[in-house]
Chains A and B, each alone.
Chain A
Amino acid sequence: MAVKTIAGAQVNVSEEGYLEDMSQWNEDIAKEIASEVNIELTDKHFEVLNYLREKTAAGEALSIRSVGKSGIIDVKGLYKLFPKGPLKFSSKIAGIPKPSSCI
């Protein structure tokens, strides 16, 4: 575990840069992590991020399939929002642990 300063806040991150404590997350942190992977966050991004955070808080495992069925966005749209990392990048930006799902 390491402490990193993101958007002026001290947060605990894993070796790969995922937040260790999702309660340390805020929108500015999200924006800064997103900019590292060249994503500019829109309202639609935040809708997805909040969904991911809710599901994670409820202890549910995430997959692109379940996000695609959430009613918020379809899988194609998810790839558009988070190119080359629909689950990996969205989880990182949402301040939740690296997804353990293979699908």
Chain B
Amino acid sequence: MKILVAVKRVVDYNVKVRPKSDGTGVDLANVKMAINPFCEIAVEEALRLKEKGVATEIIAVSVGDKSCQEQIRTALALGADRGILVETDAELQPLAIAKLLKAVVDKEQPQIVILGKQSIDGDNNQTGQMLAALTGYAQGTFASQITVEGDKASLMREVDGGLQTLTLNLPLIVTTDLRLNEPRYASLPNIMKAKKKPLDTLTPAELGIDPAPRVKLVKVEPPAERKAGIKVATVEELVEKLKNEAKVI
């Protein structure tokens, strides 16, 4: 069974981003980039399914400009077998990414596609669900546990207030939540080996998809600052302030 795992290149989660002073976008000059943390969890789950003998081949796919090769190489160093970059300099939004991934799914026919539930830049939380809609496949979003048996998967997912378990037919689209696993690190020998693994490049035109954005970014701005309040010296003072000043208890 083939597993397709999608990886997105995003600003490293340790970087505090700021809007550009003219408000046209986020300042990404000389900022450290990395695999989106939820996508790392997706790669790890694919590796575990291969180690369990469920999967035979793992294909890491990314959509974006040439530099996304770095994140595909990272996935290859972690253990993916080969990579595909859908290369474009276009501004990409979830619906377009889902359409491009659908075209890759049509070509590769994976039984399971694993994606992060959201990327930490756009915070959209859409691409997996949209890919599931376009393929007509079942979707297991916010997954915290996956067990594959035959042509079905038992999937536990995080919902408001608890956990839900579903039985889903394969082929299947999965999006990962934090609890699914703890990703491994790539070893140096594997990082060297990854350089020799195959990485194909496709273009949106070859896949017959127009990735033009439907949503226009008007401006970006920093969030409203919250002013620091006061330090209270004692518990009595705190309770007094909450009762009489803030009037919240």
A, B co-complexed = no
Residues of B that sit less than 8 Å from A by CB: none
Residues of A that sit less than 8 Å from B by CB: none
